[in-house]
Amino acid sequence: MSGPRVSVAVAEPSSYIVYFTGLVHRPGTILLGGRTTLLQGLSLAGGWTNPSATRVILIRETPEGVKKRYESALDSIRSGDTYVDNFWLERGDLVIIE
């Protein structure tokens, strides 16, 4: 006689991966455990490595499979003219610092 068998299926994982590349201290994949803004994600990637970096680009694939591109000048983020602190990262986002 064998014991009971239990199966567990994850409906939606609470963690997700985003990718950072370009002029960041820690390029590669970052596992996020919850809602994370773009600025928080940049902080987790160590920030940008070069003061001459000029822009942040975010590539996001929609549920329909269309890739969207969002771009902002780092100077306007540094000066506070552009606020991305409430721009939330999503699963699979690619963030490029140039």
Rounded Cα gap, residues 89 and 96, in angstroms: 13
74 sits in which H/E element: helix 74-79
- Answer whether residue 4 shows pLDDT above 90: no
pLDDT one-digit tens code per residue, 38-79: 889 999 999 989 888 899 999 999 999 999 999 988 887 777
pLDDT, position 58: 94
The residues near 28 (Cβ < 8 Å, ≥ 6 apart) are 19, 20, 21
| pLDDT at residue 84 is higher than 70 | no
Determine contact, residues 16/90, Cβ cutoff 8 Å: yes
pTM over 0.75: yes
For residue 56, the enclosing domain spans 16-97
- What is the domain-level CATH number for residue 53? 3.10.560.10
In a domain, 25, yes or no: yes
pLDDT (mean) for 30-35: 92
Instruction: Output the average pLDDT for the chain.
Output: 87
pLDDT of residue 13: 59
Q: Is residue 44, in this structure, part of any structural domain at all? A: yes
